[in-house]
Structure 1
Amino acid sequence: MKNIIFPPARAVQDTIYIPSSKSISNRMLVIRSLAGSDAVLENLSESDDTAVMIRALQDSSGIRDVGHAGTALRFLTAYFAVQGTLVVLTGSERLRQRPVGPLVDALRSLGAKIGYLEKEGCPPLEISGRLTRGGDVRVSGNISSQFISALMMIGPLLDGGLRIELTGEVVSATYIRMTLALMNRCGIGATFTGNEIRIPQQSYRVEPMRVESDWSAASYWYLVSALLPGSGIILSGLSAKSLQGDAVAMRLFEPLGVESRSVDEGMLLVSSETVKPASVEHDFSGCPDLVQTFAAALCSLGVPFRFSGTRTLRIKETDRIAALQKEMARLGFVIRAGEEGAWIAWEGDRCDPVASPVIRTYDDHRMAMSFAPLAVRYPGLAIDDPGVVTKSYPAYWEHLQKAGFRVMEG
């Protein structure tokens, strides 16, 4: 199945009810469960990832299948290491190829009992016993920040707390700071200074809270605004004062003619014709989920770019660098990448576009949502496997139609 998309007849004037942050939702669900609390978490994400997390935390069976949810796998690996029950963590075929070795090694160094049931370094995992000993652990800073966040959240439960030393370059530090802020909001006096995270042995105190709206989801509307000058889109519930690194979208899209204004309802995006920059450079280590969206925007607007901090894109839902290269080539753009994905760039090079292109999504929700707005430039653009958006933004296609896009099943 695929969705065939046609653009609105005019610039968009609408209010979009942005989903809540799954990053915050998933962290708070783990923290609440570690605390043994029943505090109300309002506005939880309705994404597949959060639904998986809720089921896994509530389930009492010995096998927890998290599907495609890499976040759930990583957070739950640490979570179950301190629970004292025998659990097998598994997931989809793609998830079973995603490395979890650095997290397992760190937990084992503290005394956790975790075994690989198939391929070394990858799920499924068998977790048994109860980890109680804290201490010092060294973790590479250039791995997924979710490994580090997973360790952080169990730190207060360990004897003597936990000290995490990050070696090398620290990527996605914004997500580490998000985890730190949420933990400290729940009564933990954790610190992150230089390359060292210190987490004291303390008890979580979880109070009712409302989860803020999702800046990753908002980025697709920034793309729509940039492609349709004259738009005025209110993103309901969105705040400039955010824990999310993806709030940098406000600054990224400003040179492309999109102004962000805080209003009572949330954030108002006002777009206008503007002289585009000659080229753009940006370090995405703190906001890797924006890479596909911003790359799609710049290519469509004819602005060359060079992005650094993209190494972790190789181990997302798909190899996002390879996927971006293949699918942008269908539209006529040649994107280059550095060794191990250290950088990606479009230098203005073009290739012959495919007639009536169908964009593959590779089981990756962000591929679907970052390419769909390009129908403004390519009317009739088709997106394969459109249902992948439920991973983070179930109402995405409905919202596009509400904004004036025509979406047809093909």
Structure 2
Amino acid sequence: MKYQISANTKNISGKINLPASKSISNRVLIISSLCFSPYPIKNLSDSDDTKVLFSALHSNKSTFDIGHAGTAMRFLTAFLAKIVGEWEVTGSERMKQRPIKILVDALNQLGAKIEYLENEDCPPLRIYGSHLKGQTLVLDGSISSQYISALLMIAPTVENGLTLKLTGDITSGSYIELTLRLMQKFGIQYQWEENEISVPEQNYFPMEFTVEADWSGASYWYQILALAEKGEVFLENLQLESLQGDANIAVWFEQFGVFSTQKENGVLLSKTENTQPAKLELDFIENPDVAQTMACLCVAKQIPFHFTGLKTLKIKETDRIFALQNELAKFGARLTEPKHGELAWNGIIDPTLTEKTPEIKTYHDHRMALAFAPMAIVGFTFKIENPMVVTKSYPNFWNDLKTIGFEITEKE
């Protein structure tokens, strides 16, 4: 199935009920399970990733298929390593290509026993859950922050606690901070000094918790307003003072004339004049999930850019740098990778590359569909393959676009 996307409106107005934060939901699910919380989690994300993790944590089975959900794979691997029993965790074909060796090695050092069932260093895994004993682990800080978060969440329940020494540049540090701040809300004390994080053995305290709206989901509405001539969008339940690192984008978008105002029940986005930078230079080391949003925005507005801090994009749902290069070429943009973890464009449209009605591949990656769709605001008509991939994080996205004037037609 494909969706054909177009938009005939330049003045945007709407009220959007954003999805709850997937990042917060998944972490709180693990923490609540670790402390046997009797309280339901309010406003839990209805994304595919969260549903998969919720189902696994509330299952009486010993085998779990988490599909494309990378967060669930990593968080469950650490969680099950300390739950006595024999477990198997598998996933999609893409998931079976995503390395997990660093996390498995770390857990095995703590006393776990985890085996690879097919390909070395990748899922599926057989996990023999057991009592874990803490120590100091040295980890590369430039790896996926989800490995680090997975270890941190079980750290208070490990004998003698756990200390992580992170080497090199820390990627997605905002997500590590999110994990620690959520643990703190459930009663956990920790120390983070320079590149060393120490979590003593201690008890989580169960508590009621309400998940806030998702800032990654909000980024597409900032993108839409940046592409529009003017307008206002109210994003319900969003907080400018947020636990989520992606809240930083509110400042980024001011150079596009999009301003944010905190209201009682959400954030009001407004744009009254068209402005844009001559060139956009951003470091995504703390915010890799909004890289696709910004790349599509720049191509749609023909703004040269140079992005850094993108090393983890190659191990996401797909190789996102490769995917962006392939799909934005269909709009005439020849993106380059100056160095590993960088992405750049000179702002020049190459007519020999441009397709009349591009068909955008999503590569099983929700953020490809979510980031490309707003480009219709500037007059593009295009098709998106496998559009329901958005259910991974934003199930109601297409309906929300229709409410502000997007035309979305199902095609074969």
Q: TM-score range by the shorter chain?
A: over 0.9
How far apart, CA to CA, are the structure 2 residues paired with 1:74 and 1:297?
A: 31
1:166-185 deviations in Å (ceiling 9; x for gaps): 01111100000000000011
Residues 21 and 213 in structure 1, CA contact (< 8 A), matched pair in contact too:
yes
Residues 172 and 285 in structure 1, CA contact (< 8 A), matched pair in contact too:
yes
How far apart, CA to CA, are the structure 1 residues paired with 2:356 and 2:129?
A: 57
How far apart, CA to CA, are the structure 2 residues paired with 1:362 and 1:372?
A: 15
**Alignment of 1:98 onto 2:117:** no
- 1:323 maps to which residue? 323
Residues 374 and 381 in structure 1, CA contact (< 8 A), matched pair in contact too:
no
- 2:397 maps to which residue? 396
- 1:303 maps to which residue? 303
How far apart, CA to CA, are the structure 2 residues paired with 1:338 and 1:109?
A: 37
How far apart, CA to CA, are the structure 1 residues paired with 2:119 and 2:3?
A: 36
Which runs of no fewer than 5 residues in structure 1 stay unpaired? none
1:64-109 deviations in Å (ceiling 9; x for gaps): 1101000000000000000011000100000010010100111111
- 1:162 maps to which residue? 162
How far apart, CA to CA, are the structure 2 residues paired with 1:127 and 1:138?
A: 22
How far apart, CA to CA, are the structure 1 residues paired with 2:131 and 2:320?
A: 35
1:219-267 deviations in Å (ceiling 9; x for gaps): 0000110111211000011010101111111011110111111122311
The one-letter code matched in structure 2 to 1:347 is N
Following superposition, the deviation at residue 38 of structure 1 comes to 1.8
Following superposition, the deviation at residue 303 of structure 1 comes to 1.4
Matches within 5 A, 1:2-401: 2-340=2-340, 342-352=341-351, 353-401=354-402
How far apart, CA to CA, are the structure 1 residues paired with 2:252 and 2:38?
A: 39
Following superposition, the deviation at residue 207 of structure 1 comes to 0.7
Following superposition, the deviation at residue 119 of structure 1 comes to 0.7
Residues 14 and 232 in structure 1, CA contact (< 8 A), matched pair in contact too:
yes
Residues 65 and 91 in structure 2, CA contact (< 8 A), matched pair in contact too:
yes
The one-letter code matched in structure 1 to 2:15 is T
Following superposition, the deviation at residue 191 of structure 1 comes to 2.1
Moved more, 103-112 or 363-372: 103-112
Residues 141 and 168 in structure 2, CA contact (< 8 A), matched pair in contact too:
yes
- Normalising by structure 2, report the TM-score: 0.97
How far apart, CA to CA, are the structure 2 residues paired with 1:9 and 1:59?
A: 46
The one-letter code matched in structure 2 to 1:371 is F
How far apart, CA to CA, are the structure 2 residues paired with 1:67 and 1:393?
A: 17
Following superposition, the deviation at residue 277 of structure 1 comes to 1.4
1:170-210 deviations in Å (ceiling 9; x for gaps): 11000000000000110110122210011010010021011
| Aligned partner of residue 368 in structure 1, secondary structure | helix
How far apart, CA to CA, are the structure 2 residues paired with 1:329 and 1:206?
A: 50
How far apart, CA to CA, are the structure 1 residues paired with 2:55 and 2:15?
A: 32
- Normalising by structure 1, report the TM-score: 0.98
The one-letter code matched in structure 2 to 1:17 is N
Following superposition, the deviation at residue 131 of structure 1 comes to 3.3
Following superposition, the deviation at residue 58 of structure 1 comes to 1.1
The one-letter code matched in structure 2 to 1:191 is Q
The one-letter code matched in structure 1 to 2:55 is R
Following superposition, the deviation at residue 403 of structure 1 comes to 1.3
| Aligned partner of residue 12 in structure 1, secondary structure | strand
Moved more, 318-327 or 265-274: 265-274
Following superposition, the deviation at residue 350 of structure 1 comes to 2.7
Following superposition, the deviation at residue 382 of structure 1 comes to 1.1
How far apart, CA to CA, are the structure 2 residues paired with 1:144 and 1:344?
A: 19
How far apart, CA to CA, are the structure 2 residues paired with 1:283 and 1:19?
A: 26
How far apart, CA to CA, are the structure 2 residues paired with 1:273 and 1:357?
A: 30
How far apart, CA to CA, are the structure 2 residues paired with 1:329 and 1:378?
A: 17
| Aligned partner of residue 149 in structure 1, secondary structure | helix
The one-letter code matched in structure 2 to 1:192 is W
The one-letter code matched in structure 2 to 1:138 is V
| Aligned partner of residue 3 in structure 1, secondary structure | strand
The one-letter code matched in structure 1 to 2:402 is Q
Following superposition, the deviation at residue 377 of structure 1 comes to 2.3
| Aligned partner of residue 402 in structure 2, secondary structure | helix
How far apart, CA to CA, are the structure 2 residues paired with 1:299 and 1:152?
A: 38
How far apart, CA to CA, are the structure 1 residues paired with 2:109 and 2:69?
A: 25
Percent identity over paired residues: 46
